[in-house]
Amino acid sequence: MDDEISAAELHDLLESGSVRVVDIRSPAAFARGHVPGSENVPFAELTARIEEFAGEDHVVTVCPHGQASVQAARLIGSYEGFDGRVESLAPGLEGWAEAYGLETDGDGTETGTGTGAGTGAGAADTRETEADGGEASRANRASSDPRSDGDGAPF
């Protein structure tokens, strides 16, 4: 493995189109929110799908907190058919979401609180908070937050 990468560095690479971003979470977690342009290869499938990375120039692995993605990056980097650069997103999806928001499957909108969050769920939460003193917003946030399993647990 080459190194870890910051959210800002990954953002720049995505803007230039010179990176393959691999989210190693489950398909359900990926659908709730992910880095725009990333693909889902669950960690449990990574070994069986390792040949898909042959010939890639630059791969960044992503997980909730930047820990499991280090192992995924090491696995990809150790594959003899891979000669490119592989890095792990240091702050994980949590750090990415804070800075840029997350894309969700289905509607193509981004959610989160970062500067790149657009008009996704964050804007709706603000309106609800102002309208009812925050009760509906707090109740809905645990079940609608793409970083949650629906029970308030992140990612």
Tens-binned pLDDT, residue by residue, of the chain (155 aa): 559 999 999 999 999 998 999 999 999 999 999 999 999 999 999 999 999 999 999 999 999 999 999 999 999 999 999 999 999 999 999 999 999 999 998 654 445 545 444 333 333 332 222 333 433 333 333 333 444 444 344 56
Exposed / middle / buried, residue 31 (Cβ in 10 Å: 0-12, 13-18, 19+) = middle
So what's the architecture of 3-99 in CATH?
A: 3-Layer(aba) Sandwich (3.40)
User: What do you get for the CA distance between the two ends of the chain, in Å?
Assistant: 25
Kindly list the distances between the CA atom of residue 93 and the CA atoms of 11, 46, 63, in Å, as whole numbers in the listed order.
12, 19, 6
| Residue bearing tokens 């190194």 | 3
